[in-house]
Amino acid sequence: MLDNTAQNSNNGVKNSSAETADTTLPDTTFAEEFGESMDDDLADVSLSDLGKDASDFLTSLRDQAVEFWQSQAKPQLGQASEQAKNAVSQANAQLAAQTQKLNDLTRLLKKPDHVPFAITHVSIVDDLESSPDQLDMRRNKVRVYPDQTIVVGADGKIEEIGDSASIEPALPQGYRRLDATGKFAIPGLINLHVHTFSNGKPLHKMTSKDQTLKMRRFFDTKPGREAAFALSLKNLETMLRSGVTTLRTLGDLGDDAIRVGKLVEEGHITGPRVLASGPIIAAVGGHGAPLISVECADEADAAVAVDRNIAMGASAIKVASTGGVTDSTQRGEAGAVQLTEGQMAIICEIAHEHGLLVAAHAQSLDGVKNALRAGVDTIEHGSELDDEAIALFKNNPKALHGFSSFDATVLAGVAMRDLPQSVTQIDDIPLANGTDITNGMLAGLKQAKEAGIVVSMGTDSAMPLVTQYGTWRELQVLMKYADYTAAEALYTATHVNAGVLGLGSEIGTLREGYSADIVITDENPLGNLSTLGDVELVVAQGLPVFHPQVKKNEEIERNLDMLG
């Protein structure tokens, strides 16, 4: 266990994102007013000028009506009114309780003051030699640097790093010491493909058309928006506690992840650095619609959609070049071209003007090439490649940084393909489509690696069996299914991902002047990647999170262990 002599003070922070619940009751005087009107209407019935029999009959009828109203209908209406009041009160109480939970969760995450400290006598596992623009994982120089000290300043950056024997004795007064003898330090992990709307449980019930429509209607309400925000807050905290210090969301319910990212950026909470896309931009009826995608009929719609996401505060953009697996209802739908090259070109042009990267869900060769020709910066999932695609990846004049990356999401694919349907709860058609897509993705990934294409990584968290705490498992399956070494996997999840984001001079490695994004483990991850599944310490932008345990789904863990 780390010897923690650092002391942090916390500032109470009011959750400015959780709006006050609307506790105004509806006008329940309706029953009383209606009852008075009914009394008046019955009393005003005129019986004059009628024959005696008719008069007696109507008198009896009126008396019966008055009796029924007074003895049964009016009390029942009053009871219904009272029940309505109670229902509204209960609903508002539930909303208030959820808001309180959200406030409590935010307070749990509130950001402490930066306290300068040093992690001493730690073995660093990193590439401290390659330049930030070296994004070929095959050329990494990751190795172990024993008995090092990492000095973190009050600005949240690494002030000094080197041999403990020379640095520790010269530590200034006021710097706390964290003795990490026998421990290992790596740069904070970077996950380039995250969703925050679920936790890795099977999505069968969420992917039916009726269910997604119901969910969309709910998330468009005020309670729904706050529920989405609470989900993002909770799941992004889980990401942080599992060693992810920077992430990119690619398909959100709304502005939920954007709001969480803003809280982190403004210093209200400790959390991972968040680049959030907001909703996916898709074709009419396209992948992810209507739950996490907005639909575009033409290029004008596409321009409006990207402008709206940017105005919402998005720091990344996601498009759906092709259909997807989880919401497919026909064989071959996953990978079928959806957005046009022209629509994606407009989106890329506008996004790049704002300095934002564009990611494309693309699961066929045609979909990949359309996206690359349009200027997309990262291809999500991918497919088998041809010479034209390989050339565009390596030299893409329309991309923001002049190249595009192949962002594989292997775990989601192999879990769906290789685990029993009783575990994944995937229907036959998505399973067949998913098998085809996964095979094509793995073939393309190996082609990309051999060709020297920049290959990044993300987990596609929230997909079936892809948890928010399991980024390390993506590295593990890269080794098993794509012939990565442990060093290549670590280099990809740190150096390469940082470079793809254009942040290679700020994050992704443990060097002086870089953000202090650090993960401490019990074992050397080069020898045992699973040590990343239970980390000892996470430091995010200079803020330490000690013993950052996460609640794991043991059933999911047992099922994933079946993959080997």
According to DSSP, the β-strands at 244-249 and 189-194 are parallel
Count CB atoms within 10 A of the CB of residue 239: 28
pLDDT tens string 503-545: 999 999 999 999 999 999 999 999 999 999 999 999 999 999 9
CA 277 → CA 257, 317, 461, 462, distances in Å? 8, 5, 15, 15
Q: What angle do CA 187, 192, 195 make, to 5 degrees?
A: 120
pLDDT of residue 197: 93
The domain limits of the chain are: 189-506
pLDDT at 78: 66
What φ, ψ does residue 359 adopt, rounded to 5°? -105, 145
- Residue 132 carries which DSSP code? T
Output phi, psi for 172, to 5 deg.
-65, 155
Give the residue among 418, 298, 306 at the shortest CA–CA distance from 356: 306
CA 283 to CA 319: how far, in whole Å?
A: 9
Q: For the domain made up of 189-506, give the CATH fold.
A: TIM Barrel (3.20.20)
Place of tokens 């575009």: 296
Q: What is the pLDDT of residues 40-66, one digit of tens each?
A: 433 444 434 444 555 555 566 666 666
Q: In the predicted model, is pLDDT for residue 207 greater than 80?
A: no
- Asked whether the beta carbons of 375 and 349 are under 8 A apart, the reply is yes
3 state SS of 375: coil
pLDDT at 37 over 50: no
With beta carbons less than 8 A apart as the criterion, state whether 95 and 102 touch.
no
Q: Count other C-beta atoms under 10 Å from residue 92's C-beta.
A: 15
Distances from the Cα of 19 to the Cαs of 222, 223, 276, in angstroms? 9, 10, 21
Residue type, 331: R
Please, which pLDDT band fits residue 38 given cuts at 50, 70 and 90? very low
pLDDT in tens, 259-274: 999 999 999 999 999 9
Say yes or no to pLDDT of 19 above 50.
Answer: no
Q: What is the pLDDT of residue 114?
A: 79
Q: pLDDT tens, 320-333?
A: 999 999 999 999 99
Mean pLDDT of 382-411: 98
Q: What average pLDDT does range 397-423 have in this prediction?
A: 97
pLDDT band, residue 276 (cuts 50/70/90): very high
DSSP 286-347: -TTTTTTEEEESSHHHHHHHHHHHHHHT-SSEEEESB--STT--STT-TT-B-S-HHHHHHH
| Whole-Å CA distances, 395 to 205, 354, 403, 444, 502 | 42, 21, 5, 17, 16
186 backbone dihedrals φ, ψ, rounded to 5°: -125, 160
Structure tokens at 337: 């071209």
What is the identity of the amino acid at 4? N
Residue 395 pLDDT level (bands cut at 50, 70, 90): very high
pLDDT of residue 62: 63
Rounded to an integer, the average pLDDT of 421-440 is 96
Contact (Cβ atoms closer than 8 angstroms) between residue 553 and residue 467: yes
Q: How far apart are CA 463 and CA 452, in angstroms?
A: 29
| Residue pair 292/250 in contact by the 8 Å Cβ criterion | no
Asked if pLDDT for residue 119 goes beyond 60, the answer is yes
3-state SS class at 539: strand
Greater pLDDT, 287 or 46: 287
How far from 70 is each of 36, 42, 82, 242, CA to CA, in Å? 11, 11, 17, 66
Cβ(374)–Cβ(344) under 8 Å? yes
User: Per-residue pLDDT averaged across 426-448, rounded?
Assistant: 97
Q: Amino acid identity, residue 197?
A: F
Bigger pLDDT: 3 vs 422? 422
Quick count: other Cβ atoms within 10 Å of Cβ 90?
10
Sorted by sequence, the CB contacts under 8 Å of residue 182 that are 6+ apart come out as 522
- The pLDDT assigned to 71 comes to 72
- Range scoring the smallest mean pLDDT among 2-11, 96-105, 207-216, 490-499: 2-11
CA distance 106 to 234: 9
DSSP state of 114: P
d(CA 363, CA 443): 12
Cβ-proximal residues to 534 (8 Å cutoff; 6+ apart), any chain: 522, 549
Average pLDDT over residues 470-489: 98
Q: Answer yes or no: is pLDDT of 294 > 60.
A: yes
| pLDDT greater than 70 at residue 484 | yes
- Sheet with 378-381: list strands edge to edge: 293-296, 280-283, 317-320, 358-362, 378-381, 405-408, 455-457
Cα separation of 494 and 246, whole Å? 9
Residues in the chain: 564
What pLDDT does 65 receive? 62
Mean pLDDT for 401-422 is: 97
Task: Supply the pLDDT for residue 59.
Answer: 61
Rounded Cα gap, residues 544 and 119, in angstroms: 11
Report the percentage of the chain scoring pLDDT > 90.
77
For 410, phi and psi rounded to 5 degrees? -75, -40
Query: On the CB side of 12, how many CA atoms lie within 13 Å of its CA?
Result: 3
Listed residue (504, 410, 406, 414) closest to 450, CA to CA: 406
The residues, any chain, with a CB within 8 Å of residue 117's CB and separated by 6 or more, are 6, 151, 152, 175, 176, 177, 178, 544
Q: In angstroms, rounded to a whole number, what is the distance separating the alpha carbons of residues 495 and 115?
A: 27
